[in-house]
Amino acid sequence: MGPSAPNSESARRRKLYEKIAAHIRGLIASGELRPGQALPSERKLAEQFKVGRAVVREAVRQLEAHGLVESRHGGGNYVREITSEHLVAPIASVLSNSKAQLRQELMEARLLFEPQVARQAAARADEGDIRRLEAVILRQKERVERGQPTPKEDAEFHSLLAQATHNAVVERVMEVINGLLEDSYERLFQHGERSRRSLEGNSRILEAVMQHDQEAAEQAMREHIADVARSL
């Protein structure tokens, strides 16, 4: 029984610093902690979670390893400028190694998530949101007419739709989804038919959002994602 005690203590310690790291990631994802802003002090975090400062330092090291936090000369830990790669990396590392299975699981996740994003966008989109959505649809249309692929325009449309929910967490989740889909979409959108169908689907979603028709927006997104899934 002797050797199990150190292992148990190590597991407990890991659970503690992972909990702190997850808490800080949540503050970053929600926008409560923004790029350039200092993290709470080691002392404050140690008191909040009732742990030693060494555990807090391990949590910060984990965040540094994922590119979310940086230590600056003179003291203090600060939130880094976050890119989709920073958000995707810790998720991608634990997903299936099978690309086919990953694509299938991503499509399932999108069907669960994005119809509700469209519904919320239809409820909350303001004039600025709609102008930005119209602009990216126009660019996508111009590229389709020239026979050019539109993976970036499609990803931007879905990102702008998430922004139209006015929910910072929804925006970050969409960034993760787009990051995980990037390779598949670059390949998929080489076919002109996919870009055309994407434009049609996105246009129907936009029309529903412009009319603030939540039911229609949700249904249009559901049909759009199902159509994409059939192409993969």
Identical fold between 4-82 and 87-231 = no
Confirm or reject CATH 2.10.60.10 for domain 87-231, answering yes or no.
Answer: no
Please give the pLDDT value at position 7. 63
Residue 146 in tokens = 């020239």
Judge if pTM exceeds 0.85. no
Distance from C-alpha of 60 to C-alpha of 53, rounded to nearest angstrom: 11
- Residue 68, CB-side half-sphere exposure with 13 Å CA sphere: 23
Domain boundaries, the chain: 4-82, 87-231
Q: Distances from the Cα of 122 to the Cαs of 25, 37, 162, 167, 209, in angstroms?
A: 28, 33, 11, 13, 4
Tracing tokens 């979670």 back to the chain, one arrives at 49
- Name 69's bridge partners: 79
pLDDT by residue for the chain (232 residues), tens digit each?
A: 455 555 677 777 778 888 999 899 888 877 788 888 999 999 999 999 999 999 999 999 989 887 889 988 777 899 987 665 555 555 555 554 556 777 788 888 899 999 999 999 999 999 999 999 999 999 999 999 999 999 999 999 999 999 999 998 899 889 888 887 777 777 778 777 889 999 999 999 999 999 999 999 999 999 999 998 887 6
CATH of 4-82, one of 1.10.10.10, 3.40.50.2300, 3.40.190.10, 3.30.499.10: 1.10.10.10
